[in-house]
Amino acid sequence: MDRDLVETKLESLRRCVDRIAGKTPSSADQLVRDPDVQDIIALNLQRAVQLSVDFAAHLIAETDATPPSTMAENFEILQKIQIIEPALAECLTKAVGFLEYRRS
């Protein structure tokens, strides 16, 4: 596994999460009234999901598992080969649904 690639992706993911945390208002009402903050949060969520999919694909490529045919399948495979727990796989699969919804 390419350690530099993994570290780069994890650092990018950390920046996305930090950006989301730093911009998340204290109430839903504030979020509704600020389209710029909505955009910042949505963009960083999209980036975080994509980075997670990329990282999952990188992990799967290091195994004998059949490559995924969809983004969500990355997390199903990671669960199947016992790299992540079922609850995390479910959450990440839902996050991919968010990403696909935002693109449509």
In this model, does residue 5 exceed pLDDT 90?
Answer: no
Question: Alpha-carbon distance 38 to 82, whole Å?
Answer: 35
Confidence class for position 102, pLDDT limits 50, 70, 90 = low
Task: Give pLDDT, residue 104.
Answer: 59
- Residue 8, H or E segment: helix 3-23
Beta carbons of 51 and 12 less than 8 angstroms apart: yes
In this model, does residue 103 exceed pLDDT 70?
Answer: no
If one counts every other C-beta atom within 10 angstroms of the C-beta of residue 60, the result is 20
Task: Give pLDDT, residue 97.
Answer: 86
Question: Alpha-carbon distance 103 to 21, whole Å?
Answer: 23
Task: Give pLDDT, residue 6.
Answer: 85
SS (HEC) of 72-102: HHHHHHHHHCCCCCHHHHHHHHHHHHHHHHH
To the nearest whole number, what is the mean pLDDT of the chain? 92
Residue 45: closest CA among 70, 74, 24, 71: 24
Mean pLDDT of 34-48: 95
pTM: 0.86
List pLDDT tens digits, range 64-100: 999 999 999 999 999 999 999 999 999 999 999 877 7
